[in-house]
Amino acid sequence: MAWLAAAVLAPALLGAPQPLPPVPSAAQVAWQQMEKNAFVHFGPNTFTSAEWGTGREDPAVFNPTAFDARQWVRTFKEAGFKGVIITAKHHDGFCLWPSSQSTHTIAKSPWRNGGGDVLRDLSDACREAGLRFGVYLSPWDRNHPAYGTTQYNQVFAAMLEEVLGHYGPVFEVWFDGANGEGPNGKKQVYDWPLFIGTVRRLQPDAVIFSDAGPDVRWVGNERGEGGPTSWSLIERARYVPGTDLSAELTAGFRDGPDWVPPECDVSIRPGWFHRSSEDVKVKSAHVLADLYEHSVGRNCQLLLNVPPDARGLIAAPDQNALAGMHRILSDVYGHNLLQSDRSAAKPTADAAAVTDGKLDTYWSPPNSVSTGALVVTVQTTVTFNRIVLQEPIQLGQRIASFRIEAWTNGAWTSIADGTTVGYKRILSVPLTSSDRIRVTVLDARGTPLLAEVGAYRADPVS
């Protein structure tokens, strides 16, 4: 059983704090709770071994021999992913659906005699399996003859109409910030208000990703790592897609007026598209588990790219790594060692708030102060090397500095210090045995709130 020292607590149900702006939308909260999603880079580059296609590829190169979107989705679901985002159109302009707006599409390929539709197969497979479906569309188009003219903005908006209007609910629309020359040697001035307005009209519950949001921002690197300080708050007006302000995007701003949480995109392989030569370079299960701790565990979402091979299947090395990652994360984070045992006793309302597995119950200090401490005590000594903290982000992100201590050898011993918490903060701490953990909030943007406190043990990598 776990309980909290009553001397330092105020019941969470009395005098509940008001939301502290900015606060996330319901769609942003749901997105953050997904934690990790699969990214799928697939297209002509899969068959040419290019990272960025030229737009001059013959559509005949696209011809997977054993395409099976259900195999992808089954692999991702078994690995604990909640959604899948597919590169519906990469920079080469090749469309994975039979678009009426381009001649550089799947309809011109020999696959299924030109009658295939990757988006249809994948969206159907996601719906059947209970995973959410998302799309990446690069505004850059190295093939389309209208690119670099005002007409192209209408072309791209029409492509959005096709993708967002015919494949069911979409949870995320991913806009790449790359902007290079088209076949006429010109660059495009993108009409972002038109593109964003089209998404809002067709998929009002989808979050939109780009460097500038408006709903989800790039973390500032492609390593899959958030920063040790990670605010969901930025000043959105400072950025446009393609902005090179990576450090700002990583940390965010304590006083930012807009809620735009970071997403960590990274590939399971050295490249974004599949190459058989990289089969021996697939990230290991332990590396993938570390990426989870350094992305989701730093107030971000993990978007892990797992590219299908030329058969149209997720290759065995990737499957094995994903399965191993899932086993590790389940073994480590499957049970909070501080979890209340209701069969033994009924904890008080405030004690239950941080060990009940619910993000809508929380602890707060008395008198609306910006600092405070709580002590979680367990009846039996537990041994741990991970601490997890979570804020109820629906009420805003508040904590700016904290300390974690454990009661050892008759005294409080500091085991970790940190800055932000947000949706989830995972801290690697020395292997510690204790029956008491103290969390002290040293600084906050208003009254600090904690929804969850957890202790876990990860086995050392052999």
To the nearest 10 degrees (0 to 180), the angle between helices 316-333 and 285-295 is 60
- When the candidates are 3.20.20.80, 3.40.50.12500, 1.10.3720.10, 3.20.20.70, the CATH number that belongs to 35-333 is 3.20.20.80
Q: Residue 349: what pLDDT?
A: 42
pLDDT tens-digit series, residues 157-169: 999 999 999 999 9
Domains 2-21+337-456 and 35-333 share a fold: no
Distant-in-sequence contacts of 180-183, Cβ < 8 A, 24+ apart:
180/91, 180/140, 180/142, 181/142, 181/148, 182/55, 182/140, 182/141, 182/142, 182/143, 182/144, 182/145, 182/147, 182/148, 182/152, 183/55, 183/56, 183/142, 183/143, 183/144, 183/145, 183/147
Fold of 2-21+337-456: Jelly Rolls (2.60.120)
Per the model's pLDDT, the better-predicted residue between 366 and 21 turns out to be 21
pLDDT tens-digit series, residues 15-66: 568 999 999 999 999 999 999 999 999 999 999 999 999 999 999 999 999 9
DSSP class per residue in 118-144: HHHHHHHHHHHHT-EEEEEE-S--SS-
**Model confidence at 1: pLDDT above 80:** no
Domain ranges of the chain: 2-21+337-456, 35-333
Tokens standing for residue 343:
């069969």
Q: Residue 340: what pLDDT?
A: 58
